[in-house]
Amino acid sequence: MELKGRESFKATREQIWEILMDTPTLARITPGISRLEKIGDNAYDAIADVKIGPVKASFKGKLTLTDITENDSFVLNVTQNSKIGNVAAKVGLNLVNEGLNQTALAFEGKANFSGTLAGKGARILSGVASSLTKQFFASLAEEIEARDFPEAKPEITQNNSNVNLHSMSHEIKMFLNGKEQHVTVESRDLLVDVLRDKLRLTGTHVGCDTSSCGACTILINGKAVKSCTMLAVQADGTTVQTVEGLATAEGFHPIQEGFKEEHGLQCGFCTPGMMMTAVDLLQRNTNPSEHEIREALEGNFCRCTGYHNIVRAVQHAAAKM
């Protein structure tokens, strides 16, 4: 079962992160949790009491947090067992800045069920997950309101040389493909448009403008990001790599060789995004299985090759790296 959702809150990313990292508070606002005890670095023992259709079940197991970027994102790994079956889930959570004192909590992942639980049907399980998610978001909103966080104030000074108060333009600095790059952008400029139109790095493609196709994927601080959903000002001070930065004076990057040798492209439109996502995967997992490759690439669409050669291209690169 796929898990996906997004909700906006009147709080900063730092304020929401503070709540998510506070074990007693998280236990209190998470529906069904009767016990949540920290047992190590980013690891918890948990007991959840959940009603699934007419059946009530108590699940015991562990929660772990991995791939943590403070005030930004983490991956929640869940392993829970009960008399009616087991649950294994892996869900990525991201805090997305939507403006001053406004942040979205987005999550996406998958959950697998076994035993009697698996026979309850995807529709029932999806309904339970949706209900629990709504309850959690409602409780989180109440917790934010109860804490009465102070509102962040925009830092505006007469001597701020990076901000033009009349045009709301900003001078940002990026370490782009290994070189320091300064560029003036407007507050509303998307990163993908700045890369293509102002910096002429047209290997980053615009496909859907909705973050669905992945053609605009680049690396921000080594992590795959869809640049059509990121403002250019958010890239200030980051390390950015586009497809143009893969090759070196010594030759192609292994992922480029893989796509060439295994015929992993036809029209080539999706290829830059595919390669950047694959590089992110191979930096985290040097020997991924076919299933792990397909899972990593599920956010990148290809309408030509049927994906088989793309998977082989990534396997080719893995063997070379």
Q: Which of 221, 205, 40, 15 is nearest to 100 (CA)?
A: 15
**CATH superfamily ID and name for 254-320:** [2Fe-2S]-binding domain (1.10.150.120)
Give 189's DSSP letter: -
Q: Which of 220, 238, 233 is nearest to 170 (CA)?
A: 233
Q: Does the domain formed by 2-147 have CATH 3.30.70.141?
A: no
289 Cβ partners below 8 Å, 6+ apart?
A: none
Per domain, the residue ranges of the chain are 2-147, 163-245, 254-320
Residues, the chain:
321
Q: Which of 178, 314, 173 is nearest to 242 (CA)?
A: 178
Cα(43)–Cα(65) distance, rounded to whole angstroms?
Answer: 7
Whether this model's pTM surpasses 0.75: no
Fold of 163-245: Ubiquitin-like (UB roll) (3.10.20)
The helix or strand, by DSSP H or E, that contains position 20, with its residue range, turns out to be: helix 13-20
pLDDT tens for the chain, residues 1 to 321: 777 888 888 888 888 899 888 888 888 888 777 788 888 888 888 887 766 655 566 778 888 888 888 888 888 888 877 776 677 888 888 988 877 778 888 888 887 867 765 665 556 667 667 777 888 888 888 888 888 777 655 544 444 445 444 457 888 999 999 999 999 998 888 999 999 999 999 999 998 878 889 999 999 999 999 999 899 999 999 999 999 999 988 899 999 999 999 999 989 999 999 999 999 999 999 999 999 999 999 999 998 877 899 999 999 999 988
Place of tokens 């292994």: 254
